[in-house]
Structure 1
Amino acid sequence: MTKITTCVFDAYGTLFDVNAAARALAGEPGRATFAAVWQQVSADWRTKQLQYSWLRAITGDHCDFWQVTQDGLDWALDRAGIDDPDLRNGLLGLYRRLKPYPEVPALLTTLKTAGLARAILSNGSPGMLEEAVASAGIGALLDDVLSVEDVGVFKPDARVYDLVGARLACTPDQVLFVSANGWDAAAAAAYGFRTLLVNRAGDPVDRLPGRPENVAADLGAVRNILGL
């Protein structure tokens, strides 16, 4: 079997906790009303963010992920009956500085020490990704940050996965692609990447043409797969 030389990570939900913005704001003083519904709002926000990206990819009506993120939040707040511009602005500001999962810096350091190439491949716009990476302090641990804006279409379009080989000079079978999104891991597997689905919620594996080679509860499985 071909040796893995390159580790590519999805960003939102995989390296960065997409619930962190709503959770943090719910914990602020004077946010009791939002604290009662933040989990619903966060879940709806993420669901609509993804749905809108898929629909735009199908229809060819592309916009950047920041617009999709705002549209998803507006739907979620509307469903919760919340009309609060200050709250909306606070959530969006925090989303651009999402907290990484605790194991992320140590894992990337291990991969760097082992000599593996490390990159992000994300639906996120370049500005969003730049702020998230800087806020998490992991810029020096990455070789590249790849955004779908280079091809103008969201995942799971194959042109997005083509960016990996074009930018990192590797073949699909040399890549371990890591995502916490089942549909993303499935598409990456169908594309030809070695894959790890980080299934934190323990959900059933999606019934799609591609099936992830590895499924685990957290990012620690990367070390096991690579023998590190």
Structure 2
Amino acid sequence: MHGIKALAFDAYGTVFDVHSVVALAEKMYPGKGKELSQLWRSKQIEYMFLRTIMGRYIPHNQNTEAGLKYSLKYLGLPGGTSERGALMDAYERLSPFEDARQTLPKLSGLKRAILSVGTPSLLTNLVGNAGITDQFDALLSVDEVKVYKPHPRTYQLATDKFDLQRHEIGFVTSNYFDVAGAKAFGFQVIWINRNGAIPDEVGLLPDVALTSIAEIPNLLG
């Protein structure tokens, strides 16, 4: 990889651990916390894709709550306003991965942005609650273009913000649909493959696959 002048990071699953809600979910629903978190995340992504295809965008907090409602119903768990409210609040307080927290300051020589499906207020709260607001030059939300990733308009937000060519931006994500979308758009793509996954068969590969964000400084030299 060469010629990178800015880095754009996916938020959910890359910088922030979406399954850090498991502890609360397990406390609320003993024996079901992990299953709830996994199903919730799966439905959240499914609804993102459906709404983009149908042209029926809604803000990510609403999309996330819809996925939560389905998951609670499917698992036969109590899902009143108070239960959903507690879990949704936890989603604004997701824990950052330790490799992200430790590595972001080492990348201060480059422009850095979050490029996420989260709304502006969600992203502001997320990085603020984690104490890493100062590690980003911009928080870019798909809410501005009213479609979800991996639509090309979402990635255009980064080129417009930094006034750079597509190949001058390194895109960092753990989600393979995001790898494919960003690569198709023309970014140099860094796949953070923490769990040893295999690439999806969509004809698009990342420029490099790493097991940790901590490897990025050495990669970029």
TM-score (norm 1): 0.92
CA shift, 1:90, in A, is: 1.2
Distance 2:134 2:15 in 1: 15
Which of the numbers 178, 182, 200 marks the counterpart of 1:184?
178
Q: Does the CA-based 8 Å contact 1:123-1:148 persist in structure 2?
A: yes
Q: Look up the equivalent residue of 1:99 and give its one-letter code.
A: S
Helix, strand or coil at the partner of 1:76 = helix
Q: How does 1:9-24 map to 2 (within 5 A)?
A: 9-24=9-24
Which of the numbers 99, 106, 110 marks the counterpart of 2:102?
106
Write the deviation string for residues 79-119 of structure 1: whole angstroms up to 9, x where unpaired. Answer: 1110142332211111011110112222110011xx10000
Q: Look up the equivalent residue of 1:39 and give its one-letter code.
A: K
Distance 2:22 2:88 in 1: 9
What is the Cα-based RMSD across aligned positions, in Å?
1.3
Q: Does the CA-based 8 Å contact 1:199-1:218 persist in structure 2?
A: yes
Which of the numbers 50, 55, 59 marks the counterpart of 2:45?
50
TM-score (norm 2): 0.95
Q: Does the CA-based 8 Å contact 2:193-2:212 persist in structure 1?
A: yes
The answer for the alignment partner of 2:71 in structure 1 is: 76
The answer for the alignment partner of 1:59 in structure 2 is: 54
Q: Does the CA-based 8 Å contact 2:191-2:209 persist in structure 1?
A: yes
Distance 1:97 1:43 in 2: 17
Distance 1:220 1:2 in 2: 18
The answer for the alignment partner of 2:149 in structure 1 is: 155
Write the deviation string for residues 40-71 of structure 1: whole angstroms up to 9, x where unpaired. Answer: 11010000000000010001001000011000
Q: Does the CA-based 8 Å contact 1:20-1:98 persist in structure 2?
A: yes
The answer for the alignment partner of 2:36 in structure 1 is: 41
CA shift, 1:163, in A, is: 0.7
The answer for the alignment partner of 1:87 in structure 2 is: 83
Distance 1:187 1:18 in 2: 20
Helix, strand or coil at the partner of 1:121 = strand
Which of the numbers 190, 209, 212 marks the counterpart of 1:196?
190
Q: Does the CA-based 8 Å contact 2:9-2:15 persist in structure 1?
A: yes
Q: Look up the equivalent residue of 1:164 and give its one-letter code.
A: A
Helix, strand or coil at the partner of 1:35 = coil
State whether structure 2 residue 110 is matched by structure 1 residue 116.
Answer: yes
Give the number of aligned pairs: 220
Question: What's the % identity of the aligned pairs?
Answer: 35
Distance 2:74 2:218 in 1: 42
Q: Does the CA-based 8 Å contact 1:23-1:38 persist in structure 2?
A: yes
CA shift, 1:25, in A, is: 4.1
Which runs of 5 or more residues in structure 1 are unaligned?
none
